[in-house]
Amino acid sequence: MYGDLKARDVGDLVTILIVEKTSAQSQTETSLKKSSKLQGGVSALFGINQSTLNKTNVSMQGSAEHGGKGTTVRGSTLTGTITAQVIGKQPNGNLIIQAQKSIVVNGEAQVLTITGLVRPEDINDDNTVTSDRIFNLQITYTGEGVLTDVQEPGLIWKIVAKLWPF
């Protein structure tokens, strides 16, 4: 007799078909102009002669301008397959899944981790689910090794960049 191969209980496995594509664009423009003027004088002070006080006029003036523009464009695509394990089951039947894959090539380790929540009805007959059907999907893709280390600025450069005002 053949049973249903769909994941439904803690410990079961399900294959995730990763089909993620993101893009975002943001533009900003700021303009700030500010000017101020302060004038003052003293007309009487403790019986000091008026002609002496007329020489105590104070005047200050200042202005500032700032303008800036910025544009950010970002996009990414991630495709592939990974098998996840059901690590929990909610009272309504939804499955909590987790997957991790580590690949090391020439000393460079890449780790893909996926967690999320899947409704049993979103699992296909061949026990696969597309990543766009996973609720609260968390995908982490990290790398470690020589290539990753070279891409990071050195400690001295980080300190100089933090302190240098220009």
Q: What is the mean pLDDT of residues 13-24?
A: 90
Per-residue pLDDT for 87 more than 70? yes
Other Cβ atoms closer than 10 A to 5 = 13
96 burial via Cβ count (<10 Å: 0-12, 13-18, 19+): middle
CA 85 to chain centre: 27
Q: How far, in Å, CA of 47 to CA of 152, rounded?
A: 71
Per-residue pLDDT for 35 more than 80? no
Taking Cα atoms as reference points, which of 97, 93, 90, 94 lies closest to residue 139? 97
Question: What pTM did the predictor assign?
Answer: 0.59
pLDDT-above-90 percentage for the chain: 39
Q: How far, in Å, CA of 24 to CA of 20, rounded?
A: 13
Condensed to tens digits (0 to 9), the pLDDT of residues 19-30 reads 988 888 888 777
Integer-rounded Cα radius of gyration of the chain: 32
Condensed to tens digits (0 to 9), the pLDDT of residues 51-77 reads 665 666 666 677 777 777 878 787 888
